[in-house]
Amino acid sequence: MKNSFLLILLALAACSAPQSQESLEQEFITIGSVERLDSALNRLIPTGAEIEVLASGFEWAEGPLWLEEQQAVIFTDVPTNTIWKWTEKDSLSLYLSPSGYLGDRTDKREPGANGLALDASGNLILCQHGERQVGKMLASLDTPESDFEGLATNYEGKRFNSPNDLVFNSRGQLFFTDPPYGMDPWDEKQLDFQGVYRLDPDGKVNLLIDTLSRPNGIALSPDQKTLYIAQSDPDKARYYAFDLDESGNVISGKILFDATSLQGESRKGLPDGLKVHSGGTLFATGPGGVLVISPEGKHIGTILTENGTANCGFDADEKYLYMTADAFLMRIKLK
């Protein structure tokens, strides 16, 4: 049903796409609301800001990533093994298929890519569920192709579970999480923990954390001294902050915010993807939508999307926050 709706949406988008840069401002269906728990939120999200629905009909949208040169956001649909592209000018188009699994099986639950990032050279780096690796797309961003190089495929000879999300620091070190969500019942689980890793530029994979039950979203503070991890465990729905030394090793950690008590029928979702604003505030998907959390761990508000929300990401100027929430791509204007 969702796929049929998506085809209709594509046809409508093609017919209604603006024809000039002067007519780029569009009106979109809005959804949800903004819960303001502290006045500090008003400095980030203007009063009256609305959640705009940009596209719909996906199975489980994830991993929004802004491409500045294309003025586009790309995002994954994990169950359908695809990546989509949305621009204000041209609306929605298919960007890459397949994205995370190159095999022949058609019965995999979540075979596609999940989290996305760009390296310092502008290459697309993907957490690929189906291939159980962190991969690099060998084609350019302008002419995407399903041709990948495995950057991190195993830890000490054992295959990863299903790499989920990732973030680079300025030294080219790549931090990523490895929960089992992309694995199917017939997949062999070779690691007896769910790890958080660091991939160094020389190709060495370092295990940083092996004590979290479901590490998921991952981000760095602006000074790159703190590594944030979202844990999507319904019994311990938490966001963690880990101190890093100059080499990128974890030296200490703490619970930044515990969202377990926020779960409920009216607040769908668990801690999942997260991003850090240049001012240091966390925008972390979780119960209800996107929680806005100060660096000190104070919950100052929530972008209530009315859907289980998987991930989020800023554009280059932090003018908008783009959000993937179940079947939807959404955005909200920032201050």
Task: Check residue 25 and give its pLDDT.
Answer: 58
- Predicted TM-score of the model (pTM): 0.92
DSSP string computed for 132-159: TEEEEE-S-SSS--S-EEEEE-EETTEE
Q: How many CB atoms lie within 10 A of CB 29?
A: 12
Task: Check residue 26 and give its pLDDT.
Answer: 73
Cβ atoms of residues 200 and 212 within 8 Å = no
Task: Check residue 27 and give its pLDDT.
Answer: 86
User: Domain 2-9+26-333 is in which class?
Assistant: mainly beta
pLDDT tens for each residue of 78-98: 999 999 999 999 999 999 999
CA distance 289 to 177: 21
User: Residue 14 pLDDT > 90, yes or no?
Assistant: no
Predicted confidence band of residue 306 (pLDDT cuts 50, 70, 90): very high
CA distance 110 to 141: 24
Domain ranges of the chain: 2-9+26-333
**Where is average pLDDT lowest: 7-16, 25-34, 224-233, 250-259?**
7-16
Give me the mean pLDDT over the 61-71 stretch: 98
Q: Of 54, 51, 64, which Cα lies nearest the Cα of 92?
A: 54
3-state SS, residue 134: strand
